[in-house]
């Protein structure tokens, strides 16, 4: 375990529900869901945000208001715990001691753990392209999908919005028209590859919308 010395208290105070082992498992699974941005890894694993009991309650017909409150609270608690765990893991990999990632932290992490297997360090022509992609992703996450207004850091709230967003799927009506988002509580490689592609894509897109909705949902503004 990396020793943060006197800063250990500050990062654990910022991420009190963080579990680095859970964060590492999550990081490895989502990184394994894609072979490159937008392309699904056929051998990728799914990641469950919620428990079997949550799914059983969600599938229950005629749910009471108490059931709905329990589902909502449990899902949000799980999302927040995973977000803090993922941040704690990333922080330890890049030597961050605050639990709030700067752009430099995020770039360092993605270069090593997300893009490292492309051997881009030996292909200088790709480095600038990848840096542009990472900056786009950082700006989206730090502003939870807004086109402006980010504080230049990815904190636990921003990461929770990301986890929430990638745990939802688009719904369509009987005419195949978009009708909103549904909480799946499970991250599947095919869906994640689309979300990740949108994360690295410039401009407002479906993931941006999901991040904005996630921010409102997590702050009880819906």
Residue 93 to residue 5: CA distance in whole angstroms: 15
Residue 181 to residue 207: CA distance in whole angstroms: 11
Q: Reduced to 3 states, what is the DSSP secondary structure of residue 49?
A: coil
| pLDDT tens, residue by residue, 136-155 | 999 999 999 998 777 899 99
And the tokens for 48? 């469950």
Q: Read out DSSP for 194-222? A: HHHHHHTSSSS-HHHHHHHHHHHHHTT--
Look at residue 122 in the predicted model and tell me its pLDDT: 60
Of 128 and 77, more confident: 77
And the tokens for 25? 């498992």
Number of Cβ atoms within 10 Å of the Cβ of 219: 11
Number of Cβ atoms within 10 Å of the Cβ of 64: 9
Q: What is the pTM of this model?
A: 0.90
User: Quick one: average pLDDT of 1-12?
Assistant: 60
| pLDDT tens, residue by residue, 87-122 | 999 999 999 999 999 999 999 999 988 887 655 556
User: Quick one: average pLDDT of 19-24?
Assistant: 97
Residues of the chain with pLDDT > 70, as a percent, come to 93
Residue 7 confidence (pLDDT) above 80: no
Look at residue 121 in the predicted model and tell me its pLDDT: 58
Residue 198 confidence (pLDDT) above 90: yes
| pLDDT tens, residue by residue, 26-78 | 999 999 999 877 789 999 999 999 999 999 999 999 999 999 999 999 999 99
Residues 131, 136, 140: CA angle, nearest 5 degrees? 145
Of 149 and 202, more confident: 202
User: Quick one: average pLDDT of 16-29?
Assistant: 97
Nearest to 29 by CA among 87, 86, 103: 86
Spell 127-154 as b/e; 16+ CB within 10 A means b.
Answer: eeebbebbeebbbbbbbbbeeeebeebb
Look at residue 165 in the predicted model and tell me its pLDDT: 96
Residue 5 confidence (pLDDT) above 70: no
């Amino acid at each position: 375990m990396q020793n943060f010395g006197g800063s250990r208290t500050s990062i654990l105070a910022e991420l009190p529900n963080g579990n680095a082992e859970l964060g590492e498992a999550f990081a490895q699974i989502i990184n394994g869901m894609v072979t490159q941005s937008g392309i699904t890894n056929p051998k990728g694993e799914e990641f469950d945000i919620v428990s079997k009991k949550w799914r059983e309650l969600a599938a229950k017909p005629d749910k009471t208001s108490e059931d709905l409150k329990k589902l909502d609270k449990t899902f949000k608690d799980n999302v927040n715990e995973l977000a803090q765990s993922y941040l704690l893991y990333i922080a330890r990999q890049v030597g961050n001691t605050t639990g709030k990632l700067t752009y430099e932290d995020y770039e360092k992490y993605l270069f090593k753990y997300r893009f490292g297997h492309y051997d881009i360090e030996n292909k200088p022509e790709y480095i600038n392209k990848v840096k542009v992609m990472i900056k786009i992703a950082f700006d989206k996450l730090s502003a939870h999908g807004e086109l402006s207004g980010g504080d230049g850091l990815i904190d636990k709230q921003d990461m929770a919005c990301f986890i929430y967003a990638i745990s939802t799927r688009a719904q369509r009506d009987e005419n195949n028209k978009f009708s909103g988002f549904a909480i799946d509580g499970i991250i599947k490689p095919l869906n994640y590859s689309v979300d990740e592609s949108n994360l690295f894509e410039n401009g407002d897109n479906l993931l941006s919308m999901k991040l904005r909705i996630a921010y409102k949902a997590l702050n009880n503004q819906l």
